Chain A
Amino acid sequence: MNSNGTPKQKFIFTDSGRMEKILSQYPDKRSATLPLLHLAQTQEGFITGAIIDAVAQYTEIHPAEVMDCVSFYTMFFRRPLGTNKLQVCQTLSCSLNGADDFVDHITQKYGTKPGETTSDGKFTLLKVECLGSCGTAPVIQINNDYHEGLSINELDKLLDSIP
């Protein structure tokens, strides 16, 4: 049951082949926790309670331990986000090279503060810690791709080009 009393939907991996493959890679099942969570998040967009239960079942650990892991990592999302995640690096080099201007620009353009999602659900603006690409600062990661050393103009064009 969910806390509001509705029955919990069971989570099912659509790519069950991939799921089985991940599980078979680890002699100790609990080691599959992270890759399974990633797979589930790719499918669902964020980590639901049902995902926690499903992963716990496959890895044979307690759901609380899965939650311990999910909450530790910032790349697992606990709530639904927009289709495109605009992740602006906040750490030193990017900060010095205008990451804040990125954030301000996006906030103005879409009316979203960091952490918020546009009303059409297209974009979520996120501040993230070091993306490990300091040499090409400022860096913005959109979904899984890095975009490095952009000017505000280039950023603007890039955003407009997203369908």
Chain B
Amino acid sequence: MPLLKIDDKEIQVESGTTILETAIASGIEIPYYCYHPALEVVGSCRMCLVQVEGMSKLQVSCNTFIGEVHPDRKVNGKYDMVVYTQNELVVKERKNILEFLLLNHPLDCPVCDQAGECYLQDYSFKFGNAHSRFEEEKRVRPNEYLGSQIVINHNRCILCSRCVRFTQEISGTSELFVEARGYNSKIAALEDKPLDNLLAGNVADICPVGALLSTDYIHKNRIWNLEQKPSICQDCSVGCNVDVFSQQDQIFRLTARENQDVNGYFMCDIGRYGFHRFEKIERISHPMVRNGKSFNVLDWDEAIKKTADLIEKSKEKTAGIVSPFHTNESNYLLGLLMKETLGYLPPITGEEITFPTKFRISADRSPNLRGVNDICGDLVKDFTSIIKTRDIRGLYILDDGVDRKLDDSWKDILAKMDFVIVQSYAMTELAKSAHIVLPGLAPFEREGTITNDKGRIQWLRPSLATKGDSKPDWEILMLVRNALHKESEYFADLGEVIKKMGDQFPNYSGISLFKIGTQGMALT
């Protein structure tokens, strides 16, 4: 293995790695713009220049490879390469490059959405010059739409071509190109072929500066006002890792969070903009019990007791309806409560879409169907016919919040029941027809584990506070269960539920939230 000396550090590296990759891996900062670990290297921005001993000019570290040299040619008799990332020459060159990159830049950080997470700001601050020698007039271009949800501010663009390579290599759609050349270059899309693919939103994420903007977030907030929390997208069973950015429990945007075992660096626009759907939903804020045509509000103690009593009375004749939108723990607890769980509400499906670099959007647009199948045993999709033919008089439904029209067969079922308990965050038609309504949480408020369609278990962490008087779904179910058991059999917290679940289902054994961490783990 070649021995590299980089500044004062000696590092053994794999032959064929680049200086930049080695530096990143060993915590040495070399600034870069055009390099992106998921994209082909082009070496065009020149930000990553370093000095390599024995080479007359500075080298782009993103495209300079380290290899073994002949023993006679080793530097100081032992190094295969000696690199300086901070010497005088490098420091001076960085200043110059940054000065060039800012020639036509409007310096409009006060109104730029990227401010606070912008590599132009960060590198200028760290490595740049405080003044520019440019006295000509700046080249000014108007903003343009590249697609229906992506706007480009040309004046801020540093032409790193990350966005172009993204459409060529990752989405495979190639809508973007560099128009013209030299001083006239700019990022463009053909008028009749705009940037409108399902991965388009990622270009705003990977643009290192504030040039590409998502219309969904443009001028909505300042990044430093937002809280950033790691979460999982729940719009299909891939389960992309995301960061949720919110202020006062209102989501402003989602961005992809790196996970090489799930989504790489990216996410799709279905998931990216999906959170808006929950903004318009009519929430249930208190436990309620039916009173004729309307509901009476209950406090939680009464609600849990009433629910437990109903189940107790006709345990043999009560069935549970689980949900692929809920966590493993909620589904598991419902299973424990019931003599049997029958199935789940009609799933949401779409088209399976795959992109050239294997990024995919699953046909199953629920986050946890695999988990439901692992934990709830044999389920039937069309459970309505079974309910009709069997002697079932009570239902406990984990509602997924999708506002379905209740068809006649459902109306028949509901009419036949002595009681229907619906646990939901949204006042769906189903909830409106229930006897007891228990307010659970909306997707980005939930906590627990979900299993993606490749059998990877991930930790869903709450990004937003619970609304009104609602409670975590697993907690509601746990309280109902505790009410039906001796104190010695109580569950105290989510961890105990997970442990118990593992005892029963061997491939979920030995799991804890701590072990799952931010990157998830593969089920055995």
Where the two chains meet, the residues of A that have a C-beta atom closer than 8 Å to any C-beta of B are 1-3, 8, 49, 52, 61-65, 67-68, 71-72
Whether the pair B180, A61 counts as a contact (CB closer than 8 A) is no
Q: A3-B191, A3-B192, A49-B192 are in contact. Are A64 and B175 (CB under 8 A)?
A: yes
Chain A residues near B193 (CB-CB < 8 A):
62-64
Q: Of B168, B174, B180, B192, which is within 8 A of A71 by CB?
A: B180
Q: A3-B192, A49-B192 are in contact. Are A62 and B174 (CB under 8 A)?
A: yes
Whether the pair B177, A68 counts as a contact (CB closer than 8 A) is yes
Nearest-neighbor residue (CB-CB) of B180 within chain A: A71
Cα A54 to Cα B180 with chains together (Å): 20
Q: In the complex, how many angstroms separate the beta carbon of B69 from the nearest chain A beta carbon?
A: 34
Chain A residues near B188 (CB-CB < 8 A):
64, 67, 71
Chain B residues near A3 (CB-CB < 8 A):
191-192
Classify the interface of chain A: helix, strand, loop or mixed: helix
Chain B residues near A8 (CB-CB < 8 A):
192
Cα A63 to Cα B180 with chains together (Å): 15
Nearest-neighbor residue (CB-CB) of A72 within chain B: B181
Task: Give per-residue flags for B138-180: 1 if the beta carbon is below 8 A from chain A beta carbons, else 0.
Answer: 0000000000000000000000000000001000011111111
Q: A61-B174, A62-B173, A62-B174 are in contact. Are A67 and B179 (CB under 8 A)?
A: yes
Q: A62-B173, A62-B174, A62-B175 are in contact. Are A72 and B190 (CB under 8 A)?
A: no
Cα A64 to Cα B181 with chains together (Å): 15
Chain A residues near B176 (CB-CB < 8 A):
64
Cα A1 to Cα B194 with chains together (Å): 13
Whether the pair B179, A71 counts as a contact (CB closer than 8 A) is yes
Whether the pair B179, A1 counts as a contact (CB closer than 8 A) is no
Whether the pair B192, A64 counts as a contact (CB closer than 8 A) is no
Whether the pair A64, B180 counts as a contact (CB closer than 8 A) is no
Chain A residues near B179 (CB-CB < 8 A):
67-68, 71
> How many chain B residues have a CB neighbour from A under 8 Å?
16
Chain A residues near B181 (CB-CB < 8 A):
71-72
Cα A62 to Cα B195 with chains together (Å): 13
- Say yes or no for B189: interface residue by CB 8 A criterion: yes
Chain B residues near A65 (CB-CB < 8 A):
168, 174, 177
Chain B residues near A68 (CB-CB < 8 A):
177-179
Q: In the complex, how many angstroms separate the beta carbon of B355 from the nearest chain A beta carbon?
A: 14
Cα A49 to Cα B190 with chains together (Å): 9
Q: In the complex, how many angstroms separate the beta carbon of B337 from the nearest chain A beta carbon?
A: 55
Cα A52 to Cα B188 with chains together (Å): 15
Cα A63 to Cα B175 with chains together (Å): 8
In the A-B complex, the 5 residue pairs with the closest CB atoms: A62-B174, A68-B177, A64-B177, A71-B179, A71-B180
Q: In the complex, how many angstroms separate the beta carbon of A143 from the nearest chain B beta carbon?
A: 24
Interface hits, B182-230 → A, CB 8 Å:
188-193
Chain B residues near A49 (CB-CB < 8 A):
190, 192
Whether the pair B180, A72 counts as a contact (CB closer than 8 A) is yes
Nearest-neighbor residue (CB-CB) of A8 within chain B: B192
Chain B residues near A2 (CB-CB < 8 A):
192
Whether the pair B191, A64 counts as a contact (CB closer than 8 A) is no
Q: Of A1, A64, A72, which is within 8 A of B174 by CB?
A: A64
Cα A61 to Cα B174 with chains together (Å): 9
Cα A65 to Cα B176 with chains together (Å): 8
| B174, B177, B179, B193 — most chain A CB neighbours (10 Å) | B177
Cα A132 to Cα B121 with chains together (Å): 43
Whether the pair B180, A1 counts as a contact (CB closer than 8 A) is no
Q: In the complex, how many angstroms separate the beta carbon of A67 from the nearest chain B beta carbon?
A: 6
Q: In the complex, how many angstroms separate the beta carbon of A10 from the nearest chain B beta carbon?
A: 14
Nearest-neighbor residue (CB-CB) of B189 within chain A: A64
Q: In the complex, how many angstroms separate the beta carbon of B109 from the nearest chain A beta carbon?
A: 30
Cα A83 to Cα B498 with chains together (Å): 79
Whether the pair A63, B178 counts as a contact (CB closer than 8 A) is no
Whether the pair A1, B190 counts as a contact (CB closer than 8 A) is no
Cα A63 to Cα B176 with chains together (Å): 10
Cα A65 to Cα B178 with chains together (Å): 9
- A–B Cβ pairs within 8 angstroms, 17 of them: A1-B192, A2-B192, A3-B191, A8-B192, A49-B190, A62-B173, A62-B193, A63-B193, A64-B174, A64-B176, A64-B188, A67-B188, A67-B190, A68-B178, A71-B179, A72-B178, A72-B180
Chain A residues near B178 (CB-CB < 8 A):
68, 72
Whether the pair A67, B174 counts as a contact (CB closer than 8 A) is no
Chain A residues near B180 (CB-CB < 8 A):
71-72
**5 further contact pairs, Cβ within 8 A, besides A3-B192, A63-B190, A71-B188:** A1-B192, A3-B191, A64-B189, A67-B190, A71-B181
Q: In the complex, how many angstroms separate the beta carbon of B235 from the nearest chain A beta carbon?
A: 28
Chain B residues near A63 (CB-CB < 8 A):
190, 193
Cα A20 to Cα B189 with chains together (Å): 29
Cα A49 to Cα B192 with chains together (Å): 10
